[in-house]
Amino acid sequence: QVQLQQWGAGLLKPSETLSLTCAVYGGSFSGYHWNWIRQPPGKGLEWIGKIYHNGSTNYNPSLKSRLTISVEPSKYQFSLKLSSVTAADPAMYYCARGRLYEDFFSSWGQGTLVTVSS
């Protein structure tokens, strides 16, 4: 059974870059796409972006200018970088797996709480 384990800095200052990594254990890496999703405290879910094993990406237009998602297929890992964080970016950030040609999310990481404070 696939497991996603994520890590990264949880406390940032305004204007810094958010950086998270997600590792995939126990499943195929090439047969899926790999996503980042966030959830502000007490609110709903927002899809951030996705990447395929070949490095092809799709980003949410609302974040595209600040967003970079990258992949290291040999390590079964993918990463998120969100630059110039502001007070609008604090959230629980999740990595998640999506099946090819289907943009729903069948497996999720445990989440990383990101706080922005000066």
Partner 1 sequence: EILMTQSPATLSVSPGDRATLSCRASQSVSSRLAWYQQKPGQAPRLLIYGASTRATGVPARFSGSGSETEFTLTISSLQSEDFAVYYCQQYDKWPQTFGQGTKLEIK
Residues that bind partner 1 (CB under 8 A): 43-47, 58, 60-61, 94, 96, 102-111
Min. distance of Cβ 15 from partner 1 in angstroms?
26
Min. distance of Cβ 104 from partner 1 in angstroms?
4
Min. distance of Cβ 58 from partner 1 in angstroms?
7
The one-character DSSP state at 47 is E
Strands 18-25 and 77-82, bridge-based pairing: antiparallel
Is the CB of 61 or the CB of 74 nearer to partner 1? 61
Min. distance of Cβ 19 from partner 1 in angstroms?
20
Is the CB of 78 or the CB of 94 nearer to partner 1? 94
CA 108 vs CA 62, 65, 74, 81: distances in Å: 22, 25, 20, 18
Is the CB of 44 or the CB of 54 nearer to partner 1? 44
Is the CB of 74 or the CB of 104 nearer to partner 1? 104
Four-CA torsion 78, 109, 16, 83, nearest 10 degrees: 50
Q: Are 94 and 109 in contact (CB under 8 A)?
A: yes
Q: In this structure, what token pair is assigned to residue 71? A: 């992949």
